[in-house]
């Protein structure tokens, strides 16, 4: 299931950059691992989620891609893709041969 970065930061999809920054700062203070020594592991995980959401939503290009596709995973695509998928089996060095 795709992550909802807006929900992670507690902002609307129409939130301004200032609103996103404000929400991030409040949550970062609340869930920073140093501020939660009794639940450090949980706080660290939450802090990572908040930071990831902020990284995407604070960057106009990443936010636009996220809004359009629900993802910003630029590198994954088709993981089994190779250029060999496009290798040809015949010799097309002279295209006139296919019409003879």
Going from the N-terminus, what domains does the chain have, and what CATH number goes with each?
A: 5-74 (1.10.287.110)
Q: Where in 1-100 does DSSP place strands (E)?
A: none
Query: Is pLDDT above 70 for 86?
Result: no
List of residues 6+ apart from 87 with CB closer than 8 A: none
Q: Are 53 and 8 in contact (CB under 8 A)?
A: yes
What's the average model confidence in pLDDT over 26-55? 94
Query: Is pLDDT above 70 for 7?
Result: yes
pTM: 0.69
Q: Residues 16-25: pLDDT tens digits?
A: 999 999 999 9
pLDDT at res. 97? 58
């Amino acid at each position: 299931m795709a992550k909802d970065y807006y929900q992670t930061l507690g902002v609307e999809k129409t939130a301004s950059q200032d609103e996103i920054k404000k929400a991030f700062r409040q949550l970062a203070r609340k869930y920073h691992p140093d501020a939660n020594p009794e639940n450090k592991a949980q706080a660290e995980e939450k802090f990572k989620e908040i930071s990831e959401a902020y990284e995407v939503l604070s960057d106009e290009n990443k936010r636009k891609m996220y809004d359009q596709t629900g993802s910003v995973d630029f590198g994954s695509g088709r993981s089994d893709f190779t250029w060999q998928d496009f290798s040809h089996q015949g010799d097309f060095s002279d295209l006139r041969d296919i019409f003879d």
